[in-house]
Amino acid sequence: MNLKKHFVLFFLLTLVGNLNAQNGYDLWLQYSSITDSQLKQQYTSKITGIQVKGSSATLNASTEELKNAWKSLFDTDLETREQGSNLLMLATEDRLSSELQTELSSDLESINDEGYIIKQLSIDEQPTILITAKSDIGVLYGSFRLLKEIQLHKDISNIDISDSPKIQKRVLNHWDNLDRTVERGYAGFSIWDWHLLPELIKPEYMDYARANASIGINGTVLTNVNANSLVLTEHYIEKVKALAEVFRPYGIQVYLTARFSAPLESGDLDTADPLNEEVRQWWKDKADEIYAEIPDFGGFLVKANSEGQPGPNNYGRSHVDGANMLAEAVAPHGGIVMWRAFVYSEDDPEDRAKQAYSEFVPFDGQFHDNVLVQVKNGAIDFQPREPFHPIFGAMPDTPLMMEFQITQEYLGFSSHLVFLPKMFEETLQSDTYVQGENSSVAKIIDGTLSNKKLTGIAGVANIGTEKNWTGHPFGQANWYGFGRLAWDPYLDSEKIAEDWIKMTFTNNPEFVQPIKEMLLDSRESVVKYMTPLGLHHIMDTGHHYGPGPWVSELSRPEWNPVYYHKADSEGVGFDRTKSGSNALAQYADPIAEKYSSPETTPEKFLLWFHHLPWDYEMENGKTLWFNIATTYQEGVEEVQDMIDTWEKMEEYVDQEPYEKVSMLLQIQLKEAKWWRDACLAYFQKYSNMELPESVPEPEHSLEYYKSLEFPFAPGIRPSWN
Ligand code: BDP
């Protein structure tokens, strides 16, 4: 190639690289060029080439990742070499010499099948950095970890890291429909281009897999929980297979949602009764058919008898009957069933917060070994703040899988900057007290509290066809943070924030410090301007965009916000103590006891558990009304603080994300004010009290806020099947 051509190519490649950096496509895998000469010298002298023992698609993926990253970080090639000093060696444990295996025996014992060791050693008297593991996937995870250390500018001179995931099934749940709409999706359409699969394999599929593997996610449910049985037909299984093949080298298993009435809808049978032999056989045959094409298929996720979805109850059977039937179908192939506990009924007058517990807890111990019961973090529905779901801890003989929502259905869609790992951490670290102190939700999820073999965690994805995957550039942090917590549910959200900022933007402390604080505070701000002091589910109905505390006329009582706040001239809040629904009794002591009185209930959960008079005196000596109003106001002011912080950051960020975030923050401010004004205008009707001086009068009348309609708000349920 002549010099001129070479130059043009190089220029184009750099341009493409930069464009990706600017539009956010590369996520936290930016591999930004390390210009500090000392740092660069440290890395490039410690690692002068790569040696790979063995070969497999996963090892190739690891090598490719390292080589591409090297080029981008250091603008040099990481060449494959068979011998020499200062090599990076990739090898699974069985390919190590017996001396090395002995030397590393205690390290190797400390990791599990997906774990890894990264260690500076002398191999054949040559200084070497070794990445080893029990499996190829462990080596891939180790490769990403090494790259993370470099992206964080860590010293690797005496590197010695070993790590393993604490939870087995670390899964994204896509609520993606076959027509490519995404239920509760705010980042464009579904990335799965079903129509053009299996032939057209988009580069995004591989980059999706890389991104997930880099944070340890090892499963993806491709389809919406409000499922369409078509995905189980031969035509679609072929498409699913094509995706599975792209994901396989990255250790990602595919799962599908199973519509319970599929045997009926396929036209094969006239019932879906789980105790009917033909139905049981139908599912076995279906599982065999899928596994014949996709031998590492993960299994099924099921939403049954919930919000109109069909299920075993339609035939007078129980959730156990339904789940175990499917479990038997996938068991011979090593598959699992994730059976959701998100159930509540319009005909049941019982407090919605109690229903899932009442229905599922009696089934404890009755599910087959390959069933995980998937439970949302809170008992209502992915609210900005909820106490942990009381099922956690109440089913010690059943593996429970956590379900978080990464997509921001109830937290401002993709226009609000909210760092969710802070919220996930709050749930995971909550003490359930079911076996005395230190019985955290994390310990239930990772199986250590009651010795569970099968463990899992799911996050409802916020990914779509937007160039930067998540719409809001900071939405990426929520995907990233979910993955990190799925790997280690004890991780500090501050650490997650810091790593993400550095890998995505820059290591410059002038940027990292203020932005980290902004992220960590952002979750509390959204709680303040949407649902302070334990209020919940007062979003406008259907799309859940904006405030709608006045909505009262929907046919299902528990779909109306008035059901949840119960504001009247006497006061506000849901009495879940003995004098009310007694949902509190579903929690262990000392929670049940402590929260039974408003004085000893944490103020963040006050109106979740108590209906209190507007002039109830709070800890600060002011009335409840005063505190509601000033908290809304604080929320608004904190968004203004975020804007002030961001404005100082222009020099550290590329223009495109800088401007996008600036504009989105303005939307967030406008909507925070809307929340404050609409909610206070509404609640004031009942409190009949003046607004505190520090809180401005609502900009418009209550009638105005009530009249707003958003028929085309994104993410709305397009169809239920
Ligand atoms: C609710 C969503 C709805 C989901 C449901 C679920 O509004 O779109 O189908 O959760 O989790 O929050 O099944």
What is the domain partition of the chain in residue ranges? 33-163, 169-504, 528-574+611-707
Output the pLDDT for position 21.
Answer: 52
Nearest to 417 by CA among 408, 426, 425, 409: 408
The architecture of the domain spanning 169-504 is Alpha-Beta Barrel (3.20)
SS3 of residue 709 by DSSP: coil
Q: Measured in angstroms, how far is the CA atom of residue 540 from the centroid of ligand 1? A: 14
User: Same topology for domains 33-163 and 528-574+611-707, yes or no?
Assistant: no
Specify the DSSP element, H or E, that contains 264: helix 262-265
**Ligand 1 site, residue 342, Cβ cutoff 6 A:** yes
3-state SS of the chain: helix, strand, coil percent to 5? 45, 10, 45
Strand blocks (E) in 317-468? 336-340, 371-376, 400-405, 456-460
Q: Measured in angstroms, how far is the CA atom of residue 54 from the centroid of ligand 1? A: 46
Q: Give the number of the atom of ligand 1 that is nearest the alpha carbon of residue 403.
A: 11
User: Dihedral of the CA atoms 66, 71, 75, 78 (nearest 10)?
Assistant: 50
Q: Which residues contact 635 (CB under 8 A, 6 or more apart)?
A: 525, 526, 527, 528, 529, 530, 532, 672, 675, 676
Active site residue 381: yes
The answer to whether 183 and 718 have CB atoms below 8 angstroms apart is yes
The rounded distance, in Å, linking the Cα atoms of 601 and 580 is: 16
**Ligand 1 site, residue 183, Cβ cutoff 6 A:** yes
Specify the DSSP element, H or E, that contains 301: strand 299-302
**Ligand 1 site, residue 431, Cβ cutoff 6 A:** no
Q: Give the number of the atom of ligand 1 that is nearest the alpha carbon of residue 460.
A: 11
**Ligand 1 site, residue 407, Cβ cutoff 6 A:** no
Q: Give the number of the atom of ligand 1 that is nearest the alpha carbon of residue 183.
A: 8
The rounded distance, in Å, linking the Cα atoms of 251 and 191 is: 19
Beta pairing partners, 431 = 440
| Set 204, 207, 238, 307: catalytic member | 307
Q: Measured in angstroms, how far is the CA atom of residue 569 from the centroid of ligand 1? A: 32
**Ligand 1 site, residue 389, Cβ cutoff 6 A:** no
Beta pairing partners, 253 = 219
Residue in this structure with the two tokens 């801890």, named with its chain if needed: 393
Nearest to 211 by CA among 419, 511, 503, 446: 503
The answer to whether 683 and 567 have CB atoms below 8 angstroms apart is yes
The rounded distance, in Å, linking the Cα atoms of 426 and 247 is: 31
Q: Which of 173, 223, 307, 343 to mutate to test the pocket of ligand 1 (most atoms within 8 A of CB)?
A: 307
Q: Which residues contact 248 (CB under 8 A, 6 or more apart)?
A: 57, 296
407 token code pair: 């997509």
| Set 93, 114, 183, 381: catalytic member | 381
The answer to whether 633 and 695 have CB atoms below 8 angstroms apart is yes
Q: Could you say which DSSP state residue 300 is in?
A: E
pTM: 0.96
Report, as ranges of residue numbers, the positions in the chain whose pLDDT lies below 50.
1-20, 720-721
Among the CATH numbers 3.40.50.11540, 1.10.3470.10, 3.90.1330.10, 3.30.410.10, which is that of 528-574+611-707? 3.90.1330.10
What is the fold of 33-163?
A: Chitobiase; domain 2 (3.30.379)
SS3 of residue 549 by DSSP: coil
| CB under 8 A, 24+ apart: contacts of 105-112 | 107/162, 108/132, 108/134, 110/162, 110/164, 111/138, 111/162, 111/163, 111/164, 112/164, 112/165
On the CB side of 435, CA atoms within 13 Å amount to 14
Active site residue 553: no
**Ligand 1 site, residue 303, Cβ cutoff 6 A:** yes
Active site residue 693: no
Q: Measured in angstroms, how far is the CA atom of residue 35 from the centroid of ligand 1? A: 47
SS3 of residue 147 by DSSP: helix
| CB under 8 A, 24+ apart: contacts of 491-496 | 491/425, 492/425, 493/419, 493/421, 493/422, 493/424, 493/425, 493/520, 494/520, 496/421
Residue in this structure with the two tokens 């919605």, named with its chain if needed: 352
The answer to whether 84 and 49 have CB atoms below 8 angstroms apart is yes
Burial class (CB in 10 A: 0-12, 13-18, 19+), 522: buried
Instruction: Give me the phi and psi of 435, to 5 degrees please.
Output: -120, 50
**Ligand 1 site, residue 559, Cβ cutoff 6 A:** no
Nearest to 574 by CA among 588, 559, 561: 561
**Ligand 1 site, residue 564, Cβ cutoff 6 A:** no
Q: Could you say which DSSP state residue 372 is in?
A: E
**Ligand 1 site, residue 184, Cβ cutoff 6 A:** yes
Looking only at the bridges linking them, the beta strands covering 169-173 and 456-460 are parallel
Q: How far is CA 136 from the centre of its chain?
A: 25
The rounded distance, in Å, linking the Cα atoms of 151 and 33 is: 9
Which residue minimizes the CA distance to atom 10 of ligand 1? Answer: 381
Cis geometry, peptide bond prior to residue 198 (ω within 30 degrees of 0): yes
Count CB atoms within 10 A of the CB of residue 406: 25
